[in-house]
Chain A
């Protein structure tokens, strides 16, 4: 068997006249942690629902571990762990009962499942709440239980729909660590619209917008794709007019935008955007020396994934639903 775990070809899903997912094609290899990125309503969840056999594709095919999601859905579902969006769990069961139920549904060996439940519960930090009702759990614990039931049967492939939504920063860090850990032995697809998350956990990023795949690359490659950089300049303000500095900075070669940003008292600060790949720090420093501005700060920031994301998902051609109306 090859190490190709998920193969998606021209996957399309229509909800009536609305095309939620439009000819999406990608592959996921074993051991990859794939970040599925996109604005709300871009088709992330719909794609995941098709991969987990909850919805059937209108056109195109998807195979998971060599099995077609439509024709061979039971086999696919045996090999998958799935955490749906908003973690819908039965509220009237205790954590332990829920995991026992999941183990039985997964046809796990009754002799081994109590041990496995204990192990997974411990790994997901659920040991202290085992006897609590799911309905009484905080969002963070519910999310962990959702994750626990997804990995309970030790599936090769994990599909997690917004695993960190609604969690506090500590919980987010914890869940991310868990996902990273899982990613070493399993194939993981996770969806999110939080960018630092993919940077922190994923080895590859898919960006989807308006149902279309607009990028498929590693985080580094995606960042490198966007040319240009941003500079932050802070100058002591004694006697120097703010406008004069701004005009001078804006006139530097390559600067496309220069604007004032808030800063501490007694100083002026500006943010500069520059195209091209050349470094402007030298020119900015020269300008400061020539004009006798006391330069307090000069920082060059590389373009963040956020900007790549914004550029990719706000392009006109990536928004068919708006083009239509």
Chain B
């Protein structure tokens, strides 16, 4: 087994051996469900649109919460030294951690399928947009989690890691909201950076390659930065 998978296996076990995973997943599902069904009965439409439109904000809280300890704790307690002196490449450590948080995200999203099932009992649910929406959620969640892993690699303090990750995720979310007030010249850039813009298409059921590439590049770039930050101990 690749060391990255060994690491993620260990992390997943840590998540589910401690109350953290259960608390975060439960709270997230409840809060998500509350806001979603609030809207659903007002709009009286059997679709998942309002669920998906809530997601970018919800993930701003979820991703930093589940990723904050991944590397910061290892640095704080010194276990990183034992981990990294095993025959493992730095990027494998980073990817392993990211995969573990992704597994937790998948668990959570799996639980929210209950919402989709509920909606489909209330009326005919358009399956295409729902499936596309979930794929979009995974992409966006993946990029937020990658940001969280990166923030966790910067510090040995979990709270600092949480705040950095939340700041970045929230900024990317806000870019979409403040778009009308941005000078015209900056609009394309801000709009491109905003996760919201990219997710809007997805939540309508459109999977555009531009959006997919955006999310994947956020994942790749942030995980590369995390790897570099881990490697910085070896700078001369």
Contact = CB atoms under 8 A, between A and B. Distances in A.
Query: Do the two chains bind?
Result: yes
Interface in B67-110: 77-89
Contacts of A55: 233-234
B236 A77 contact: no
B233 A54 contact: yes
B233 A107 contact: no
B85 A52 contact: yes
A82 interface: yes
A88 B78 CA distance: 6
A77 B79 contact: no
A89 B79 contact: yes
B1 interface: yes
Interface residues of B, number: 27
B78 to A, nearest CB: 4
Contacts of B13: 93, 97
Given A55-B233, A77-B86, A78-B87, A90 B81 contact: no
Interface in B48-67: none
Contacts of A26: none
A74 B233 contact: no
Given A56-B234, A101-B10, A88 B85 contact: no
Contacts of A130: none
B234 A74 contact: no
A102 B6 CA distance: 9
A104 interface: yes
A56 B235 contact: yes
Nearest to A88: B78
Interface in B9-54: 9-10, 13-14, 17-18
B87 A89 contact: no
A54 B13 CA distance: 26
Interface string A83-110: 0101011111100010001101111000
A162 B100 CA distance: 33
Nearest to B92: A105
B129 interface: no
Of A57, A90, A92, which is in contact with the most chain B CB atoms at under 10 Å from its CB? A90
Contacts of B82: 82, 84, 88-89, 149
Nearest to B76: A88
Nearest to A150: B82
A106 B86 contact: yes
Given A58-B236, A88-B79, A89-B79, A106 B18 contact: no
A92 B14 contact: yes
A17 B235 CA distance: 14
Contacts of B233: 54-56
Interface string B192-227: 000000000000000000000000000000000000
Interface string A139-180: 000000000010000000000000000000000000000000
Given A84-B85, A105-B88, A90 B236 contact: no
Interface in A12-27: none
26 contacts: A49-B81, A55-B233, A55-B234, A56-B233, A56-B235, A57-B236, A58-B236, A59-B236, A77-B85, A77-B86, A84-B85, A86-B78, A88-B80, A88-B82, A89-B79, A89-B82, A90-B10, A91-B77, A92-B17, A92-B18, A102-B86, A105-B6, A105-B83, A105-B87, A106-B86, A107-B1
Q: Which 7 A-B pairs have the closest CB atoms?
A: A88-B78, A56-B234, A77-B87, A104-B6, A52-B85, A88-B79, A78-B87
Interface of B: 1, 3, 6-7, 9-10, 13-14, 17-18, 77-89, 233-236
Given A84-B82, A88-B82, A92-B14, 16 more contacts: A53-B85, A54-B84, A56-B234, A56-B236, A74-B87, A80-B85, A82-B82, A82-B85, A86-B78, A90-B14, A90-B79, A92-B18, A97-B13, A104-B6, A105-B87, A107-B1
Interface of A: 49, 52-59, 70, 74, 77-78, 80, 82, 84, 86, 88-93, 97, 101-102, 104-107, 149
